[in-house]
């Protein structure tokens, strides 16, 4: 499996498995099935209420812990120094693991929710740095941070975020933010790489897929990987889990990359870091 090297020296697989909405026995089977098909990165979050499920899926796979890369996330209602330490231990317990490969701040604090969002993010980050120094987390990162959130975080951070996980798929790929992260040596990870299904039916994507004898899903995922961005598609179907992992036997041409880059906006989730709590985010 292809890997990228994070700014802290740890390696991250370019393909991972998303688990939003995967719960119960189906969730356990899906996680175990993904691992058996070669996925080693598994992405969960406290707010998905499936960390126990993911932990059971990992055990059911029989694969040794050291060969896996597990990500979970701190929910935005629990930001702050002390609560980060507490919430991290809760996640670890639910996953039944003794360390996490990548721990992310799921959404930054914003002015609607915290009197001093800058300090809240700084305090949260300090706790993440402590957990990393204590050996409980290998890499620490953020999710849904805009440039303005990162710039403020840099003023107090001792450790640079290794990853920023953001919405990124054909039709909505936050090009400027991605370039900013790359300039800062922060690896970008794409959430909703298939725009939760809204990329299907697009003529440009279908034409490219046909030419390569691949599916539209595979073309979208490959386009993301060729941008040096990590993908974490979610599926509950063993067939689609396998399909989404068969990405390494073809390459998109520069012209094809450009034509996907240029697609008009489609599939945007409507989720932005500064608007909650008006809308339920994942």
| Residues near ligand NDP, by CB under 6 A | 18-20, 43, 106, 143-144, 165, 191-197, 215, 217, 232-237, 240, 243-244, 282
Least distance CB 183 / ligand NDP (angstroms): 21
* Between 23 and 282, CB nearer to ligand NDP: 282
Closest distance between ligand NDP and the C-beta of residue 55, in Å? 15
Q: At what angle do helices 117-133 and 81-95 cross, to 10 degrees?
A: 50
Min dist CB 135 to ligand NDP, Å, is: 25
Of these residues, 39, 48, 103, 172, which one is catalytic? 48
Q: How far is the CB of 73 from ligand NDP (least distance, A)?
A: 6
DSSP secondary structure of the chain: --EEE-TTS-EEESBEEE-TT--HHHHHHHHHHHHHTT--EEE--GGGT-HHHHHHHHHHHT--GGG-EEEEEE-GGG-SHHHHHHHHHHHHHHHT-S-EEEEEESS---TTT-TTHHHHHHHHHHHHHHHHHTTSEEEEEEES--HHHHHHHHTT-SS--SEEEEE-BTTB--HHHHHHHHHTTPEEEEESTTGGGTTTT-HHHHHHHHHHT--HHHHHHHHHHHTT-EE----S-HHHHHHTT--TT----HHHHHHHHTPPP-------TTTTTSS---
Closest distance of CB 197 from ligand NDP, Å: 4
39 is catalytic: no
87, two tokens: 């919430």
Q: Are 117 and 111 in contact (CB under 8 A)?
A: yes
Nearer to ligand NDP, 10 or 238 (CB): 238
Q: Which is nearer to ligand NDP, 155 or 239 (CB)?
A: 239
Q: Which residue number places its CB atom closest to ligand NDP?
A: 18
Q: Could you list the active site residues? A: 48
């Amino acid at each position: 499996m292809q890997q990228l090297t994070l700014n802290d020296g740890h390696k991250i697989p370019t393909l991972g498995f998303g688990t939003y909405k995967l719960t119960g026995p189906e969730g356990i089977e899906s996680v175990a099935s993904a691992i058996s098909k070669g996925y080693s990165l598994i992405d969960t979050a406290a707010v998905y209420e499936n960390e126990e499920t993911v932990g059971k899926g990992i055990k059911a796979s029989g694969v040794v812990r050291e060969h896996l890369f597990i990500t979970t996330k701190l929910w935005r209602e629990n930001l702050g120094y002390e609560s980060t330490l507490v919430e991290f231990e809760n996640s670890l317990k639910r996953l039944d693991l003794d360390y996490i490969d990548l721990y992310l701040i799921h959404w930054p604090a914003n002015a609607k929710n915290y009197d001093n969002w800058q300090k809240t993010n700084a305090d949260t980050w300090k706790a993440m740095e402590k957990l990393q120094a204590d050996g409980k987390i290998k890499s620490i990162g953020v999710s849904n941070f805009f440039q303005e959130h990162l710039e403020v975080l840099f003023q107090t951070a001792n450790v640079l975020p290794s990853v920023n996980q953001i919405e990124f798929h054909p039709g909505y790929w936050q090009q400027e933010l991605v370039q900013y992260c790359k300039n800062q040596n922060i690896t970008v990870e794409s959430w909703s790489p298939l725009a939760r299904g809204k990329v299907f039916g697009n003529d440009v994507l279908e034409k490219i897929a046909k030419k390569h004898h691949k599916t539209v899903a595979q073309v979208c995922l490959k386009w993301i990987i060729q941008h040096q961005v990590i993908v974490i598609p979610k599926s509950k179907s063993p067939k689609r889990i396998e399909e989404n992992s068969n990405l390494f036997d073809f390459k998109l041409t520069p012209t094809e990359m450009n034509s996907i880059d240029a697609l008009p906006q489609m599939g945007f989730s409507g989720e932005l870091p500064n608007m909650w709590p008006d809308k339920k985010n994942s």
